[in-house]
Amino acid sequence: MFNLVFRRIVRFFLLAGLTFGLLVACNAQQPSTEAPELSTQPLVVASSPWPGFAPHYVALAKEFFQEEGILVEDQYFQIATDVNTALLAGKVDLAWTGVPDMVMMAERDPSLRLIALSDYSNGADGILARNVTQAQDLKGKEIAWEELPLQSLLLRKYLETGGLTEQDITLLTMPAAEAATAFASKQVDVAVTYEPWLSKAAQEGQGEIVFSSKNTNIIPVGLVVKEAILQQRKPEILAFLRAIDKGVQFVRQSPDEMAEITAQKLGVTPEEVPALLDTVRIFDMEENATVVFNADDPLNVIDSLEFAAKTSQEIKLISQPVDATKLYDDSLVKELQAS
């Protein structure tokens, strides 16, 4: 009797073990439906108000970063120069900033790399004026502006058309939003600023945009990282770029919801967003590989970097030459294109 009971017990455990093994094997063959595991350490990313950053705003709101298995901590600054300060101080891992700004910062930290372009300013940066029909009319005038390299390049470009230099004007330094307000309230007759304030200030101040970045590649805007962070966190940064690419597609395919999201960041109404987006040319990751980092394309950013480096030295924004060929790393966008 004892042997019979013992054999039944043994048989039970053998069957149970076999069943468990089959279940494990079956489960191992089934693809996981769970979301990818999030990194424990977030990528800290600096951004600011700019129409070209709409894909970033969307990726945050639609949780595209979580879908790619990463955590992102967005450090949102109202003033673009604060983004640059945070990047140089190592307080953020990635920064969305003007590429001409990066040229100036590279003198202090040569390890900075541009890894992707969000957009080219295509009229989003400009010079506001009243009673100005040509650059020569700026002589002796006070001009409100934020002392950013990208604004320096734009202003220098316009001054040169009238045979003027910065010595012929008086520059009043203030944040770009305040420069627009000063023009709109008629405290100054000329201001250099950018969207989302440029167009509104022109209308409210009864002036016009006398010069802008439209149809140029003078002002590229993109994602900048230090070389050490790029090497340490490359898989996460690749995931970040994939999420941004989803954001670009959402901007293009879902304009109404995109406008609601972007308006909150820019401090405008959703109805104003489409016009603001018309002032930038946004790039997805494929276009980054085939246009932005393609030396044969007329809109390549390599030429823009060389122009910014050359001009920044000429107008003494930097004290020594910067090698433009060492300011970018296109390996990530090329890897994404190949995958």
Please, which contacts does 7-13 make with residues 24 or more away whose CB atoms are closer than 8 Å? Answer: none
Does the structure show a pLDDT above 60 at 21?
A: no
CA distances from 27 to 13, 14, 23, 328 (A): 21, 20, 6, 45
Number of CB atoms found within 10 A of residue 313's CB: 16
- Is the Cβ–Cβ distance between 60 and 250 less than 8 Å? no
| Main-chain phi, psi angles of 305, to 5 degrees | -65, -40
Query: In the prediction, which pLDDT does 153 show?
Result: 86
The SS3 of residue 96 is: strand
Please state which of the ranges 153-167, 254-268, 278-292 shows the lowest mean pLDDT. 153-167
Write the pLDDT tens digit of every residue in 134-162: 999 999 999 999 988 888 889 988 999 99
Does the structure show a pLDDT above 70 at 28?
A: no
Query: In the prediction, which pLDDT does 339 show?
Result: 83
Q: What is the mean pLDDT of the chain?
A: 89
- Is the Cβ–Cβ distance between 250 and 55 less than 8 Å? yes
Could you give the domains of the chain? 43-120+217-338 (3.40.190.10), 125-212 (3.40.190.10)
Tokens describing residue 141: 């005038």
Beta-carbon contacts of 174 under 8 Å, excluding residues fewer than 6 positions away, are: 144, 145, 146, 182
